[in-house]
Amino acid sequence: MSSRLNLLLFVSSLALAGAAEAQDAPPAPPGPPARAAATAAGDGEIVVTGSRLNSSGYTAPSPTTVVGAEQIEQRAPAQVSDIINLLPSVRLSSGPQQSQRFFQTGSSPIDLRGFGAGRTLTLVDGNRFTSGTVDSSLIPVNLIERIDVVTGGASAAYGSDAVAGVVNFVLRKRMEGVRGSIQAGVSQRGDSSERVFNIGFGSGFAGGRGHFVVGVDYAKNRGVAPIFSRSWGQLNPYLVSNGLTRPAGTPAQSFLTDVTYSRQSTGGLVISGPLAGTAFGDGGTPYPFQYGQVLTSLMVGGVNPAGNPNGNAPLLTPTSRRAGLIRGEFEITPALTVFAEGNYGYTETDSYSGFYQGSAIIGIDNAFLPAVTRTAMQNAGVTTITVGRLLADYGGTRNKSTHETLRGVIGVEGRLFGDFTWDAGAQYSQTDNYGRNKDVIVANFLAAVNAVPGPNGTIVCGPIAGNPNLTDPVRQSQVQPGCAPLNIFGLGSPSAESLDYVTGHGGAVSTSRNQLWNGWANLRGSPFSTWAGPVQVALGAEWRKEAIATHANALALQSAWNASNGGEFSGSYTVKEGFAEIGVPLAAELPFAYALDLNGAFRITDYSTSGVVHTWKIGGTWEPVAGLRLRSTRSRDIRAPTLGNLFAFGGPGGCCNITNPFNGESGRLRTAQTGNPALTPEIADTFTAGVVVAPTGARWFRASVDYYNIKLKDAITTVQGPEIINRCAAGQQAYCAAIVFDNTVFGIDYVRQQPFNLNRLLRRGLDFSMDLNFSLGADSRLVIATRASKAIAVRTYDRGTIIERSGSIQGDGVPEWNGTVDMSLVKGPARVTLTGRYFSRSKFDATQLGPEDAGYSAALPNSLNTNRVPARAYFDLYTEYRMKAGRTAVSVFAQVQNLLDKDPWVFASTNITSGGNPYDLIGRRFRLGVRFER
């Protein structure tokens, strides 16, 4: 009877999942309340999370979240970011569902506190994984034993870049048998189709002295089409400029729907002169363009199919991923073990962006000019017209990219003097990035539209010397041979040959290689004891070299492409560092001092580019009574400039559509990224303080609250192109030199972007955690886990200006409140988990003012018709049923994400471009799979 009830519970939960809600899972039951920050390693050793120390009698003071294997399984993750991104302290700022207006690489770096992924140190088994920002999707999900997330500064213990914290992936080093899973998913609307497969195998050999593990992951998602695939996207949402001469009471910008271009169409549109407003339909047939309310280069209302600025950007980038790991170890003696490890990762994406926005002067002798239009020109007494064209015929700018990572590690580990453990190792990793963009060569487009009659009734490209669109000598030099005349009159009119000439020539190709050479040695143990317990110490030294080399093809180096111009540069630096950490138990089991521990760490780091820096940490925990722990840390942390910060050099590429404040015109801005070799490391001062409540008589309850305050000076800041333009327009002359103006209607060719040690940053907030574990009977339990984060201050001090971004979305902003709740009901082999994720109502942009904000005036240049984005609560449902088939354990599971099918804020995919987008853009989707272990 019991088994029938269990099966009924599972089947009914599947039915509920198909009807409405969805997501993930709770943590395992809380561990012992005292010393709960320690977890057992595979050999029985106790490793203190948040520290380099190991001891069963010491508790680290750093706030740490441990995500265990059971929690990972309940997320049914396609990749690691599916797990990490649900933590409230992580900002969703990267990945294939973020920043839809830009090419996506499939990479999923981790961003704690919204500080930027470069200020979060990501490790694997306590060691660096690759050079630069780590792509977490390259770590095989099936081999992850747990994930330790240390929030707050940790540079003294772990190294540079740990300003916001450390995410350490602890892998399974011993496994007997095989374990794996197969799952498939799809959205309710039939897209976002995915297939995920992972398998792990482990075995001992040589009588147990040796052991090896192998893990392989494969995942493929076919992506989600542009915004028109969703009802809210069919509203054509966008943020428009109301122009410099807007009516009184009208703000500078407005969030509006039914927004399309007013100066380009997919079939061509005459934009000046007496024929202005003539559009071209199928076969080049002229017709009067139906305008709406024209606002510079955009309009509200009217008819312009496929004319939304973001109408061709995918909601989810198609991505495929392969990751593998093999590890072997052999015990030479009971006190000496050698090991080796190899990783391979490969990610491929197929991303696409908007259509080329072109305009060209067309002469009356153009061979493709419709006869009726030629007659109209003759009647009007004009010999040229200017035609704006959205070149949708080639499908839009498209990027196919691959990222391949190889990593090898060798090392030895052992024991000394009984209690001491040591390890030493070396590794090499390289990541090769390759991108090929199908983009428009601007000079070729301008040459090809100048089509004139040729011999024997043919049509040819007119001479460059007489082409009114090619008066710039630089553009003239970029015209490639083999010109094929382009018919821009009517969607579908250009020939395949002309499109190949305009977008071909091998595409815009760029490659880069990031390399890491690394060697280390560590020693841990207890040299002596106090009456309260053993004193723990850890010592270590590390050397590493990081290098980068990038290349681009000739046309990209000439900035010939519209939006895909790469650069060519190389550079490297070396780092030498050493650290020491100590943990001292000061009291134990005394009145008002059930436990009192002190922790300290110091690291000295020598960069070949900027010299020596010092980092340190001091902290402690105090348990006045069993079950009540107070903890606090103070630290000095650093973040070194990346190789790109130091050495980058690239040609202008596409950025975004903006309004030029100097003339009120809208257009697509191009930016060029350059490095700065004079950069120095950022310096952060971090303070944390918290309380943990875990009553010894109430094992079902555990809660904590932690305060953090991170002050960062000399922040490496690259002011983005739109902000450079706005600051120049506001009178900050230092930024004007970065703007390259031209004589186009838009008025700006491109903007140079270079990083500087420019600003001060502040992050201040609270983290909350509560775990409940109720027994409902012999084989039943209810587990509830709550995690929440409140941003008190997310502040930038920029040349005397203070920008407060707590409770905002754009830039570095984060919502004031983020939180997740997991509720899991377990009944024998069946489990049902409901997960809720919430973020609070926020400002759109802290630098803008809406009617909701103090100081708002429609006359201000930064005024909006609204500066608020709505809160959202998303729910996910996970169900699982476990069975035994002989020696094989099998779990059948199902998951529904976005259970209630909540739509995002209608402008989320078109205008949240420079910050983390917390909205779900896809809608309800389903996963079904089988997990097995033998």
Task: Residue 388: give the domain boundaries.
Answer: 238-307+356-394+439-505
Rounded to an integer, what distance in angstroms lies between the CA atom of residue 799 and that of residue 809?
22
Beta carbons of 49 and 148 less than 8 angstroms apart = yes
Residue 824 lies in a domain: yes
Q: Which of 401, 389, 403, 489 is nearest to 440 (CA)?
A: 389
Domain check: are 457 and 579 in the same one? no
Exposure b/e, 240-260, CB count within 10 A at least 16 = b: bbbbeebeeeebbbbbbebbb
For the residues 871-898, what does the mean pLDDT come to?
Answer: 93
Is pLDDT at 279 greater than 90 in this prediction? yes
Q: Which of 505, 523, 541 is the last residue of a domain?
A: 505
- Domain-located, residue 924: yes
* 153 CB neighbour count, 10 Å cutoff: 31
- pLDDT tens across 751-768, in order? 888 888 888 999 999 999
Can you spell out the DSSP letters for 204-245? EETTTTEEEEEEEEEEEE--EEEGGGSTTGGG--EEEE--TT
- Gap between the Cα atoms of 72 and 81, Å rounded: 11
- Listed in order, strand segments (DSSP E) in 805-900 are 817-827, 830-839, 842-843, 868-869, 872-885, 888-897
Q: How many CB atoms lie within 10 A of CB 19?
A: 10
Instruction: Give the pLDDT band (50/70/90) at residue 22.
Output: very low
Do 187 and 244 share a domain, yes or no? no
**Residues 789, 87: Cα–Cα separation, whole Å:** 9
Closest CA to 909 of 335, 41, 102: 102
Are 604 and 529 contained in the same domain?
A: yes
For residue 131, give both structure tokens. 């050079």
pLDDT of 363 over the 60 cut: yes
DSSP code per residue over 465-518: GG-TT--SHHHHHHPPSS------SSTT-S-HHHHHHHH-TT-EEEEEEEEEEE
Mean pLDDT lowest for which of 10-19, 780-789, 844-853? 10-19
Tokens 């650069």: give the residue: 567
Residues 42 and 128 both lie in one domain = yes
At 31 the pLDDT is 33
Q: Is the Cβ–Cβ distance between 309 and 298 less than 8 Å? A: yes
Which of 505, 521, 539 is where one domain is finished?
Answer: 505
Q: What is the mean pLDDT of residues 737-746?
A: 85
Q: Both 529 and 470 in a single domain?
A: no
Is the domain of 769 the same as that of 817?
Answer: yes
Q: Computed from CA positions of residues 479, 484, 486, 492, in that sequence, does the dihedral angle turn out positive or negative?
A: negative
List the structure tokens of 607.
Answer: 């960069």
How far apart, in whole angstroms, are the C-alpha atoms of residue 776 and residue 880?
18
Residue count (the chain): 934
- Region 114-142: mean pLDDT is 84
Specify the DSSP element, H or E, that contains 380. Answer: helix 371-380
Asked if residue 687 and residue 818 are part of one domain, the reply reads yes
What pLDDT band is residue 222 in, cutting at 50, 70 and 90? very high
Count of domains forming the chain: 2
Helix (H, G, I), strand (E, B) or coil at 353: coil
Tokens of 650: 């690239």
Of the candidates 850, 757, 854, the residue with the CA atom closest to the CA atom of residue 797: 757
Residues 449 and 534 in one domain: no
Give the tens place of pLDDT for each residue, 646-684.
888 776 766 677 888 888 887 778 887 788 888 889 999
Query: Which contiguous run of DSSP H or E holds residue 722?
Result: helix 721-729
Residue 97, pLDDT > 70, answer: no
Task: Extract the tokens encoding 765.
Answer: 């907030």
> Stretch 676-704: mean pLDDT, rounded?
89
Question: Is the residue at 659 inside a domain?
Answer: no
Of these ranges, 161-165, 416-420, 867-871, the one predicted with the greatest mean pLDDT is 867-871
In a domain, 737, yes or no: no
Tell me whether residue 191 is in a domain.
yes
Model confidence pLDDT, tens digit, residues 317-358? 889 999 999 999 999 999 999 999 999 999 998 887 788 988
Instruction: Provide the pLDDT confidence category of residue 567 given band limits of 50, 70 and 90.
Output: confident
Q: Where are the beta strands (DSSP E) in 353-383?
A: 356-363
* Any domain includes 746: no
Same domain, residue pair 345 and 457: no
Six-digit token string for 264: 């380009």
Indicate if 156 and 252 belong to the same structural domain. no
For residues 158 and 51, what is the distance between their CA atoms, to the nearest angstrom? Answer: 8
**CATH at 856:** 2.40.170.20
Residue 833 · residue 877 · CB < 8 Å: yes
Please report the pLDDT score of residue 496 as a whole number: 95
pLDDT, position 93: 61
Among the ranges given (163-177, 192-206, 245-259, 731-745), the one the predictor scored with the smallest mean pLDDT: 731-745
Checking if the pLDDT of 798 tops 90, the result is no
Are residue 77 and residue 109 in the same domain, yes or no?
yes
* Cα 934 to the center of its chain, rounded Å: 36
**Mean pLDDT, rounded, for 15-34:** 33
Output the six-digit token pair for 12. 């009914």
pLDDT score at 57:
52
Provide the pLDDT for residue 126.
86
Residue 399 has pLDDT above 50, yes or no: yes
Is 646 among the domain residues? no
Smallest CA-to-CA distance from 431 within 522, 361, 511, 486 is with 511
**Rg of the chain (C-alpha set):** 30
**pLDDT attached to residue 137:** 78
And the tokens for 809? Answer: 């979305």
The span from the CA of 509 to the CA of 929, in Å, is 39
Choose one of 485, 505, 525: the last residue of a domain.
505
Q: Tell me what percent of the residues of the chain surpass a pLDDT of 90.
A: 55
Q: For residues 914 and 853, state if they share a domain.
A: yes
Question: What confidence score (pLDDT) does residue 781 get?
Answer: 93
The predicted-structure confidence for 46-73, as pLDDT tens digits, reads as follows 445 667 776 545 577 888 888 887 777 7
What would the mean pLDDT of 11-31 be, rounded to a whole number? 34
Q: Which residues fall within 8 angstroms of residue 336, CB to CB, at 6 or more apart? A: 412, 413, 414
pLDDT greater at residue 70 or residue 306: 306
Does residue 655 lie in a domain region?
A: no
Top mean-pLDDT range of 106-110, 184-188, 309-313: 184-188
The amino acid occupying position 111 is: D
The 8-class DSSP code of residue 25 comes to -
What value does the mean pLDDT of the chain take?
Answer: 87
